[in-house]
Amino acid sequence: MKTFKYYTLLLALLIHFHAFSQKNLAEKLGYAKDTKLLIIHADDVGLSHSEDSATITAFKKGAITSASIMVPCPWFPEIAAYAKQHPEMDWGIHLTFTSEWKNYRWDGVAPSGEIPGMIGMDGYLYASVEDFAKHATPGEVEKEIRAEIEKAKFYGIKLTHLDNHMGSILASPEMVKIYQQLGKEYQLPVLIPMNMIQMMAPQLLKYIDTNAVVVVNNFVSAYPAVPVGKWKEFYGQAIQNLKPGLNEMIFHLAYDDDEMQAITIEHAEFGSAWRQRDLDYVLSAEFKSLLKSNNVQLITWGDVQRVMYKK
């Protein structure tokens, strides 16, 4: 009789586990199956004091739900100290393998001698994804990823996820595999922008382990072709077009001040004025109103992490 009861209990647990595993992310988080989930995310934190200040303001005002930090950048210590003091906020690592600005450069966190293929003749990370992809090896990329994660942990940052600067991690299948593997090892969800991969790098789809990662169904970010006068319209349409599933809207937040103008000189794309426009939009009443009227449920990467790794 005891054996029968044991197997009955075991069967019930297996059925319960199977039912839970078949639920989508929204259901696992306690929402209806067709809920439009949205992470409002700030990229490039640590790039500058202006970037740090704008992101902190957006967090405090409830305008964003997540941010990711560029560990190799000069203003990393400032945002790391703040993040350590505010573990309730959602902090990830913006894995950084490139250094694209004209007069404002950085190298990797790993010693240059251990990642020689990632370092250009000028002693800094390459400026373009193309040069990075041409010279870097998967082994070097793994060393740099580990170095950035470990440095962030050493500074006391409570991490919730990994994403990647300029999409350089998509340079090869080997790098995509490493990205996912290290996410699992450190129990950090990784950003897999499925709509972007389908459009720009469909050859990588077969290397995405959908059993081990929670993919972002719809990744939204302003792009250079968006006219300055259509900034609000672009984001407004994107919100209205959100579908059920996991969505992420990426903003680059900073003040259009002397610091950012100097950093982004001769680089209007993702430049100083661009970042001020993004900041103005996320802080606007219009943005909040659209999210509410379109029944969007805001979540964080920390929410995803808790579902994936029972944190």
Residue 20 maps to a domain: no
Two structure tokens written together for 280: 């103005």
Residue 15 maps to a domain: no
Torsion angle defined by CA atoms of residues 152, 170, 48 and 276, in that order, rounded to the nearest 10 degrees: -130
CA distances from 219 to 49, 73, 80, 120, 279 (A): 27, 25, 26, 31, 18
Give the model's pLDDT for residue 17. 43
Give the model's pLDDT for residue 19. 44
Q: Mean pLDDT over all residues of the chain?
A: 93
Contacts of 161 (CB under 8 A, 6+ apart): 66, 68, 90, 92, 93, 188, 189, 190, 191, 301, 302, 304, 305
Two structure tokens written together for 257: 């001040």
Contacts of 247 (CB under 8 A, 6+ apart): 36, 37, 38, 39, 216, 217, 218, 219, 220, 296
* pLDDT tens column, 177-218: 999 999 999 999 999 999 999 999 999 999 999 888 999 999
**What is the model's pTM?**
0.92
Residue 18 maps to a domain: no
CATH at residue 107: 3.20.20.370
Residue 12 maps to a domain: no
H or E stretch covering 159: strand 159-164
- In the predicted structure, residue 117 carries a pLDDT above the cut 90: yes
Residue 77 maps to a domain: yes
* pLDDT tens column, 25-41: 999 999 999 999 999 99
* pLDDT tens column, 238-283: 999 999 999 999 999 999 999 999 999 999 999 999 999 999 999 9
Give the model's pLDDT for residue 20. 47
Give the model's pLDDT for residue 8. 45
Give me the residue label for tokens 């490039």. Answer: 44
Overall domain count for the chain: 1
- Measure the CA–CA gap between 258 and 264, rounded to whole angstroms: 10
Give the model's pLDDT for residue 103. 97
Two structure tokens written together for 78: 């400032």
Residue 55 maps to a domain: yes
Torsion angle defined by CA atoms of residues 58, 221, 264 and 127, in that order, rounded to the nearest 10 degrees: 130
Give the model's pLDDT for residue 10. 40
Give the model's pLDDT for residue 22. 78
Residue 6 maps to a domain: no
Residue 14 maps to a domain: no
Two structure tokens written together for 92: 């990830």
* pLDDT tens column, 3-24: 544 444 444 443 444 444 579 9
Give the model's pLDDT for residue 15. 43
Report, as an integer, the average pLDDT of 95-108.
98
Find the domain containing 141 and state its range.
25-309
